[in-house]
Copies of this chain bind each other. A is one copy, B any other.
Amino acid sequence: MELVLIKLGGSLITDKGKPYTARPEIMTHLVEQISLIRLENPNLQLIIGNGAGSFAHQSAKKYNTIDGFFCDADKLGFCLVHQDALDLNILLAKIFLQAGLPVISLPPVTMAITQNKKLFTIDFSVIENSLQAGLIPLVFGDVVLDKAIGGTILSTDTLLAELAKYFYSQGKFQVRLVNAGNYPGVLGEDGQVLSNITPVNYPQIKAALGESESIDVTGGMAKKVEEFFAISSLGVDCWIIDGNVSGNLARAVLNKPTQGTLIKAF
């Protein structure tokens, strides 16, 4: 069985330069492609995760939620970040539902606990059960409770990487990950898109990657490449593609020629 984890990047579905500004026309374009994917391959299992973009990254930075909560203002901040993340997720969910796709919004705060920002427990049973029931789980970067520092942030990338590991390790699924962002792919030192990242060129690329320009409390491209390379080493191919290019998401998900960077450790 094939399972594709699709990340709809916060930089793609929101205007990261304008606080709390979604890009509904891009969301609609992405949802249309996912409808086409379902028509072309009804047996493909999908899990979708969206980034926080200019919604929860704003409040997460304001309250420094990634570093825990230690007073009442921090606790309120933690709850506000959750709400901001949920607001964007719901805008997206409604576009999916209007298109007739059975997405179910499932907040990661209910699934994971960290300890000093490292995952302590994670329970994906509701995602697995939703898939088995024929639904499309829709997750997002969210706050999570932390046993040492009260709370922190679990990024969509980390969550999808954990989901990839979880489902891959069951042995039932051939798992792939497609990350659609507001960038053409991973850029090399010459400013050109790298078509592939492999064990050969990875060390050099890792050293060269800088931080994302906009507010991104969860690490930007450098951390994304690191996390995706780690799961590609397990056997999960990862695409980093431009979600603005017409049809590009559908092509990547359906294993057709795609514009972007393929991270493939084998």
Contact = CB atoms under 8 A, between A and B. Distances in A.
A79 B106 contact: no
A163 to B, nearest CB: 15
A96 to B, nearest CB: 8
Contacts of A94: 83
B86 A90 contact: yes
Q: Which of A76, A79, A134, A150 has the most CB of B within 10 A?
A: A79
B107 A79 contact: no
Given A83-B93, A110-B126, A76 B102 contact: yes
A97 B87 CA distance: 14
Contacts of A151: 133
Given A75-B102, A78-B102, A113-B129, 13 more contacts: A69-B133, A72-B102, A75-B134, A76-B97, A76-B101, A78-B104, A79-B102, A79-B135, A106-B107, A107-B107, A110-B126, A126-B145, A133-B145
